[in-house]
Chains A and B, each alone.
Chain A
Amino acid sequence: MSPALIAALPFLGALLPGLLIRAGRNACATVTGFVTLLALIGLGLHIPAVLRGEVIRTQIDWLPALGLNANFMLDGLGLLFAGLILGIGLLIILYARFYLSPRDPMGQFYTYLMLFQGAMLGIVLSDNILLLLVFWELTSLSSFLLIGYWKHLPEGRQGARMALAVTGAGGLAMIAGMLILGQIAGSYDLSDILQARDAIQASDWYLPALILILLGAFTKSAQFPFHFWLPHAMAAPTPVSAYLHSATMVKAGIFLMARLWPVLAGTPEWFWIVTSAGLITMVLGAVIGLFKDDLKALLAFSTVSHLGLITMLLGFGTKAAAMVAMFHILNHATFKAALFMVAGIVDHEAHTRDIKRLGGLRRLMPVTFTIATLAGLSMAGIPPLNGFLSKEMMLEQAAHTPPGLIGLLATLGALVSVAYSFRLIAHTFLGPQRTDYPHKPHDPGFGLWAAPALLAGLVVAIGLMPMTVAGWLVDAAAGAVTGTAAHAHIAHWHGLANPALWMSLAAIGGGLVLLGLHPTLDRLWTALPRPEAKRIFDGLMEPLAALSRHLTAALHPGMLSRYLWIATATIIIVSYYAFRSGSHLPGARALTEVEPIAAIGWLLLMAASVAVVLCHHQRLLTLILIAVVGLMVSVGFAYLSAPDLALTQISVEVVTVILLLLALNFLPKTTPRESSVPRKVRDLGLAALGGLAVGGLIYALMTRDFAFPSIADYHLANSKTLGGGTNVVNVILVDFRGYDTFGEITVLGIAALLIFALTESLLSPGAANDRLRGWVSDTPDAGDRHPLMMVVATRMMLPIALMVGIYIFLRGHNVPGGGFIAGLVVAIALVMQYMASGFGWTAARQRIDYHGLIGAGVLVAAATGIGSWFAGRPFMTSNYGYFEIWPLEEFELATAALFDLGVFLTVLGAVMLALSSLTRLAVRAGQTVNTEAFDMQSELEAEEP
């Protein structure tokens, strides 16, 4: 089985428990265990090869551009860890089957567990550090789910989030570190990186990379000062604690340090950072653990302490120390997993894990007691158990590493470790039997104690026959870490001259004394103020969250004026900066004379604009002033020889003013005064700056010539010959750039649909609808709603206006006019009918739906464009010809005119749909609908009862 498949198996298997839980809990657990067993067998088949020193690889290209490849390898180090992950995983699956209560969703649990198992296997089998990062973050995510498994417990949720925050942050730092490492080595493949020791250690980026990678490793392995999350992760169900927080996940950081040991270790930086972090963690964890009453918390800090021990050994940077580290990883996994399971059993049976409420369980739970004692003594380092072996080897390494303080502190750590181990055994199981257990405990069924018993058996077996049971594995792992063949010499007796013997004895003796003093010390400890990790963490997180909330709310108050102020200021400042930082020459064009008539128009425009600002609280007046501005712009176009624009502008003005008037009817007639004086000053300054900037820009543009020949020359030259029209503006609109027009009429059509949809939502039940129903006009209506004079006049004007519209439409291609203007003119003629005789009367005579008009318009325009495909030409290629049909003179027919018809229909439909939507609002607001051509308001009122 290839390493890739071994790593993939748990992921594939993760689907099964979720499905098979329907077949029962036993089936669910069995299939999960089977998948793990399969992977374990697959791993086992490689043992002979790995022991021969071979490295088994699988290489799959994934993202070669980045150097991220799905390359896996299995060597001695991978074998040790993968064996632990799968072996203990199998025991955990068995244990969890009997541990979880019927209320716990077991399928979910096993799915998460398998995801986690796969992620861990991925880490230890990766041959590519980016791939390793992928799995690294996956362990953070899957452990988040596992810690928070008991969703209803706040401790679980908070513990999960804290673990994710700390390990996630470390993981992100590690991403940076790994990228740097890979860039130095020129490859992200571990096999290449492990060859690049000299290049890496000589690089300027060595220290940053080291620190960033160690951040990842320390957070994951709960090294000081990141140790605080681990005890809070103990809110997880015990199988999770036993698996993640003793045997596997917390060892991922250790694994990483071991994996990169050949390239990162051996420098003073490495020695000081890693050794001191490990040493501090070891002593601190042990001391805190001694005073914990919760069994799992005690074990958690013990784990922290032991991880510190292993980290310290790796920090020494010697091959011998690295070998001891490997051995202790194995030993710690066996006794600590067993102890966690024991803690779970006690909790399960006695319904408490509080040591102070326990004691005397020896006779009630003899099997559990035996297991706990074996594992606990191993943790304390009592011969001949396996914990003793590796601890003594550790002490020897510490004694031989200067400065002497290391040996002293290591002995102190071991001493405290003895104390809490004995306390665990003594205060839980020894002493008199009590009567006040929350639940009368007894030994659990075989299913629950089988797994820890097996582990305890291993503790003894390794202790008695270390070379036979574990020596080969330690050799293989140490060989892989150090890159040279390793031969462990593990023995119980090294002679009297060995300092470790005396350190060990001191530790055991001191530990017993410390245990004796525990009640006194415990009172002292409780009285002492000490930093509470959770409070500090919450003290950081909650303000950060609150700060984010406040900052975000303060920055986004939902005030358009603020948003636009910032946008305008940004635009002005950035544009000004861009201008000032570039070279500029004034334009070469001469200024034209100012003629009196132009000056008057200009003054009028200015005056009307200023008046809009001054009078904007009175909305009706403002509308009229805006109309004046629009009118002057139209006049300006006409004056500047742009009759098409002038015609368009003036018809647009008429239509918009009418529609705005209708809309204004339902709005307050005045705008409330909302702006403070400072804000007015700010806005005034901003507006002045913006106006000056735009004015300056336009001045600069209008006083210069094009730097290159303009495309306009082509349009002027070819409008008649190729476009078939002498009105260049119209030919541009319907031909040269007909596609733009196609887009713009769609915009117009959509805008009308929008008005309709908005009206529709206002008319559906809701607050706006209620307001409309209750709306009372604040201005007196004219008694003569549909004056006779107006009705007659508009009727007479209708055919004339329609004819003018058609005329403007037809002539558009050659002289000012076209579909857009024609559409507006016809729309105005129809709007007049509405104004004169009211909605009801007019609507009754309307046969075409305005939605349809818009749809038809866009379709006609599109169809004209598509038509050219059939002539083998691109979309919107125009054609024209001259025809002579008696009695008419010769005339021109152009496909562009058909397109213009689409424009015409859309414009007409859009205006009319907007109008009819507003009218529907009026009807809802209580205005009566007349069916006659003209009526008198007073008559209607008189008729109503």
Chain B
Amino acid sequence: MMGHWIIVPVVLPAVMGAFTVLVLRNNLGLSRVFSTAATVMLLAVALALLVGATRNGPEIYFLGNWPAPFGIVLGLDRLSALMVALTAFLALVVQLYAIGTGWDGRGRHFHALWQFQLMGVCGAFLTADAFNLFVFFEVLLIASYGLMIHAGGRDRLKAGVQYVAYNLVGSTLFLFALATIYSVTGTLNMADLAVKLPQLPAGDFALIRVAGVMLLMVFAIKGALVPLHFWLPATYAQAPGPVSALFAVMTKVGAYAVIRCFTLFFPADLPATGALFADLLLPAALLSLAVGSLGVLGAKDLPRLAAFGAITSMGTLFVAVAQFTPQATAAALYYAIHSTLAAGALFLVADLVVARRGTGNLLRALPVMPQHGLIAALFMATAIAVAGMPPLSGFLGKLLVLDATRGASMVLIWSAILLSSLITILGMARAGSTLFWKAHAAEGSLPPHPAQPLAFVAVFALLAGLGTLTLAAGPVTGWLAETARQLHDPAAFIAANKLGAP
């Protein structure tokens, strides 16, 4: 049993964030040391939780020792443990990048906000209470806003306002959804909802359907699903590189929330809702594939290209999620791990390029940049990963998604995924050709730039993660298949809540 360790991924960054504000706020060096140490510890705890969740099955942590459904509970299962571990790994690597490039010193409170961001993301992954999920959406939203506008600048602040305003619409909608759910069912505990919703009187069906779709749209905003994705391109393109890289996991929060809520208490066999959510999710996912991949091909600069790449990958992910079958969910999870690491790597490479070239512009060739060859190789590798080409895990992930797709819409889905892959490949090839090949034909030279080895170590670490995911695809998918099975048969998770026990 993991016991108190379950809440450590929330409390540890919260304490470290507060501590940094209280004691270390004027000392960048010490902030770096403590913050990195905290993230290392977070990763260690997350891995321990992963092992624990694998061995013990779902476990519930009763906050304040209040019985469910009356208090707030945290839920540790394979899925939440996986997402926390993924977050911790990405955060650690990207944090090293931020330190290595000096991004963290270009504004105030970087490390405190970073820790608070981790608190928010981990809290969202671990909670098993619908309202508490809202709270942690708020934590991660405000912290991400802070990180997004880190280091300031006109365009960045403008994008930041759009980001926060758009997401506040999402927060408001979240409240509407929760109010509706609570007013109809009288409960907010996810497992309790799973027990009660199937018994709902038919006269309440319409209202719970409204609540369900509102919840779905809240998560779709977080997951940047077209047509609720509009906050993403400018945000990801304008945010500091390492922050965009960390944000790769933020869209996954939306995907995670859909998987969690719509397998646990809004499953496909619920009489009140049935196939409603799948019918809405699938067209939106296909639309995201189109908008995202065309955006990759039409992007004027590299960070925007990466941003649209993120939208495409969310489209692929949601296509799998929308199947709501164990096989497709397992495929979605594999692809989610892959696309988090791949998108993170692409944003870091984009930042390397922008830092050396002075601009991410893709329409104009500039001379060869410092560390040209190495960065070109890294771009090639990340482009392969993002486009889903072999030999990296994106290809395997796409094969898994395609293989898991059956039924009437198979032809449509296959065409959409394969066509979007092609367009992404074309866009990546264009971008790489201008950035790295045409540069050899351009006159002049770019100013020198410090080598920043730590930054490259970070990118290599992400690529190593992708490589591991590829080579260990067999064991990983086996583990994920069991994860998906537990999600679609949540009896153990519900039982762990000990609902109604005194």
A interface residue numbers (CB < 8 A to B): 61-66, 68, 108, 130, 133-135, 137-138, 141, 144-145, 148, 151-154, 156-157, 160-161, 164-165, 168-169, 172-173, 175-176, 179, 541, 544-553, 555-556, 558, 560, 562-564, 566-568, 570-571, 574-575, 577-585, 694, 697, 700-702, 704, 706-712, 714-715, 718, 735-740, 742-744, 746-747, 749-751, 753-754, 756-758, 760-762, 764, 766-768, 851-852, 854-859, 862, 865-866, 868-869, 873-878
User: With A701-B180, A750-B142 given, is the CB distance from A707 to B200 under 8 Å?
Assistant: yes
- Check if B473 sits within 8 Å of A62, measured CB to CB: yes
Contacts of B298 in A (CB 8 A): 545-553
How far does the Cβ of A859 sit from chain B's closest Cβ, in whole Å?
5
How far does the Cβ of A483 sit from chain B's closest Cβ, in whole Å?
28
- Check if A706 sits within 8 Å of B169, measured CB to CB: no
User: With A175-B418, A560-B165, A739-B72 given, is the CB distance from A579 to B474 under 8 Å?
Assistant: no
- Interchain CB contact (< 8 A) of A584 among B66, B69, B72, B206: B206
How far does the Cβ of B312 sit from chain A's closest Cβ, in whole Å?
12
Is the C-beta of B107 less than 8 angstroms from some C-beta in chain A? Answer: yes
Q: CA A108 – CA B380 in complex, angstroms? A: 14
How far does the Cβ of A229 sit from chain B's closest Cβ, in whole Å?
13
Contacts of B138 in A (CB 8 A): 743-744, 747
Q: Which 6 A-B pairs have the closest CB atoms?
A: A761-B152, A585-B203, A855-B22, A548-B298, A710-B186, A584-B206
How far does the Cβ of A547 sit from chain B's closest Cβ, in whole Å?
8
CB<8 Å pairs between A and B, sample of 22: A63-B474, A66-B477, A151-B437, A151-B439, A153-B441, A154-B441, A175-B402, A179-B402, A179-B414, A556-B295, A575-B210, A581-B206, A584-B207, A710-B187, A742-B14, A743-B132, A743-B135, A757-B108, A757-B113, A764-B152, A874-B64, A878-B64
Contacts of A574 in B (CB 8 A): 213, 217, 280
- Check if A579 sits within 8 Å of B209, measured CB to CB: yes
Is the C-beta of B454 less than 8 angstroms from some C-beta in chain A? Answer: no
B228 (CB) vs chain A CBs: closest residue = A567
- Interchain CB contact (< 8 A) of B113 among A558, A750, A877: A750
A208 (CB) vs chain B CBs: closest residue = B411
Q: CA A80 – CA B90 in complex, angstroms? A: 46
Contacts of B136 in A (CB 8 A): 743
Q: CA A702 – CA B180 in complex, angstroms? A: 10
How far does the Cβ of A883 sit from chain B's closest Cβ, in whole Å?
22
Binds A, one of B34-42, B343-351, B423-431, B456-464: B423-431
Is the C-beta of B29 less than 8 angstroms from some C-beta in chain A? Answer: no
Contacts of B207 in A (CB 8 A): 579, 582, 584, 697, 700-701
- Check if B390 sits within 8 Å of A134, measured CB to CB: yes
B interface residue numbers (CB < 8 A to A): 4, 7, 11, 14-15, 17-23, 25, 61-66, 69-72, 107-109, 112-113, 116, 119, 123, 131-132, 135-136, 138-139, 142-143, 145-146, 149-154, 157-158, 161-162, 165-166, 169, 173, 176, 179-180, 182-189, 192, 196, 199-210, 212-214, 217, 221, 227-228, 230-231, 233-234, 272-273, 276, 280, 291, 294-295, 297-300, 308, 330, 373, 380, 384, 389-391, 395-396, 399-400, 402-403, 414, 418-419, 421-423, 425-427, 429-430, 433, 436-441, 473-474, 477-478, 481
- Check if A756 sits within 8 Å of B70, measured CB to CB: no
Q: CA A130 – CA B228 in complex, angstroms? A: 35
- Check if A563 sits within 8 Å of B230, measured CB to CB: yes
Q: With a 10 A CB-CB cut-off, give which of A176, A564, A579, A740 has the most chain B CB atoms.
A: A740
- Check if B203 sits within 8 Å of A584, measured CB to CB: yes
- Interchain CB contact (< 8 A) of B228 among A570, A706, A766, A865: A570
- Interchain CB contact (< 8 A) of A545 among B151, B330, B430: B430
User: With A148-B433, A757-B108, A862-B15 given, is the CB distance from A548 to B65 under 8 Å?
Assistant: no
User: With A161-B433, A179-B403, A736-B70 given, is the CB distance from A63 to B396 under 8 Å?
Assistant: yes
- Check if A851 sits within 8 Å of B441, measured CB to CB: no
Q: CA A560 – CA B192 in complex, angstroms? A: 38
How far does the Cβ of A709 sit from chain B's closest Cβ, in whole Å?
6
Q: CA A866 – CA B14 in complex, angstroms? A: 12
- Check if A584 sits within 8 Å of B205, measured CB to CB: yes
- Interchain CB contact (< 8 A) of B21 among A144, A550, A851: A851
How far does the Cβ of B261 sit from chain A's closest Cβ, in whole Å?
15
Q: With a 10 A CB-CB cut-off, give which of A135, A869, A875 has the most chain B CB atoms.
A: A875
User: With A560-B161, A579-B209 given, is the CB distance from A859 to B18 under 8 Å?
Assistant: yes
- Check if A175 sits within 8 Å of B399, measured CB to CB: yes
- Check if B188 sits within 8 Å of A711, measured CB to CB: yes
B419 (CB) vs chain A CBs: closest residue = A172
- Check if A567 sits within 8 Å of B396, measured CB to CB: no
- Interchain CB contact (< 8 A) of A701 among B25, B72, B184: B184
Q: CA A549 – CA B23 in complex, angstroms? A: 48
How far does the Cβ of B108 sit from chain A's closest Cβ, in whole Å?
4
User: With A708-B185, A739-B72, A875-B63 given, is the CB distance from A762 to B152 under 8 Å?
Assistant: yes
- Check if B297 sits within 8 Å of A545, measured CB to CB: yes
A64 (CB) vs chain B CBs: closest residue = B474
B119 (CB) vs chain A CBs: closest residue = A746
Q: CA A747 – CA B430 in complex, angstroms? A: 42
- Check if B71 sits within 8 Å of A712, measured CB to CB: no
User: With A549-B298, A706-B185 given, is the CB distance from A761 to B149 under 8 Å?
Assistant: yes
Q: CA A874 – CA B438 in complex, angstroms? A: 60
Q: With a 10 A CB-CB cut-off, give which of A546, A563, A570, A749 has the most chain B CB atoms.
A: A563
Given contacts A707-B204, A736-B70, A862-B18, 16 further A-B contacts (CB under 8 A): A63-B474, A137-B395, A173-B418, A179-B403, A179-B414, A564-B166, A583-B206, A584-B205, A694-B176, A701-B183, A701-B207, A706-B186, A749-B21, A758-B152, A758-B157, A851-B21
Contacts of B152 in A (CB 8 A): 758, 760-762, 764, 766, 768
- Check if B433 sits within 8 Å of A160, measured CB to CB: yes
- Check if B389 sits within 8 Å of A571, measured CB to CB: no
- Interchain CB contact (< 8 A) of A862 among B11, B146, B204, B206: B11
- Check if B217 sits within 8 Å of A563, measured CB to CB: no
B132 (CB) vs chain A CBs: closest residue = A740
- Check if B440 sits within 8 Å of A750, measured CB to CB: no
Q: CA A154 – CA B391 in complex, angstroms? A: 28
Contacts of B202 in A (CB 8 A): 583, 585
Contacts of B210 in A (CB 8 A): 575, 578-579, 582, 697
- Interchain CB contact (< 8 A) of A566 among B20, B66, B230, B280: B230
Contacts of B72 in A (CB 8 A): 737, 739-740
- Check if A851 sits within 8 Å of B25, measured CB to CB: yes
Contacts of B291 in A (CB 8 A): 552, 555
- Check if A161 sits within 8 Å of B22, measured CB to CB: no
Q: CA A756 – CA B112 in complex, angstroms? A: 13
- Check if B294 sits within 8 Å of A582, measured CB to CB: no
Q: With a 10 A CB-CB cut-off, give which of A65, A750, A875 has the most chain B CB atoms.
A: A750
Contacts of A694 in B (CB 8 A): 176
How far does the Cβ of A800 sit from chain B's closest Cβ, in whole Å?
30
- Check if A754 sits within 8 Å of B146, measured CB to CB: yes
Q: CA A145 – CA B373 in complex, angstroms? A: 13
How far does the Cβ of A295 sit from chain B's closest Cβ, in whole Å?
25
- Check if B276 sits within 8 Å of A134, measured CB to CB: no
Contacts of A566 in B (CB 8 A): 227, 230
- Interchain CB contact (< 8 A) of B184 among A168, A706, A750, A877: A706
- Interchain CB contact (< 8 A) of B429 among A164, A548, A736, A737: A164
- Interchain CB contact (< 8 A) of A876 among B64, B196, B430, B473: B64
- Check if A854 sits within 8 Å of B21, measured CB to CB: yes
- Interchain CB contact (< 8 A) of B436 among A64, A151, A749, A873: A151
- Check if B390 sits within 8 Å of A708, measured CB to CB: no
- Check if B64 sits within 8 Å of A750, measured CB to CB: no
Q: CA A246 – CA B300 in complex, angstroms? A: 37
A763 (CB) vs chain B CBs: closest residue = B152
- Check if B183 sits within 8 Å of A704, measured CB to CB: yes
How far does the Cβ of A554 sit from chain B's closest Cβ, in whole Å?
10
- Check if A708 sits within 8 Å of B187, measured CB to CB: yes
- Check if A750 sits within 8 Å of B143, measured CB to CB: yes
- Interchain CB contact (< 8 A) of A874 among B62, B209, B276: B62
A562 (CB) vs chain B CBs: closest residue = B230
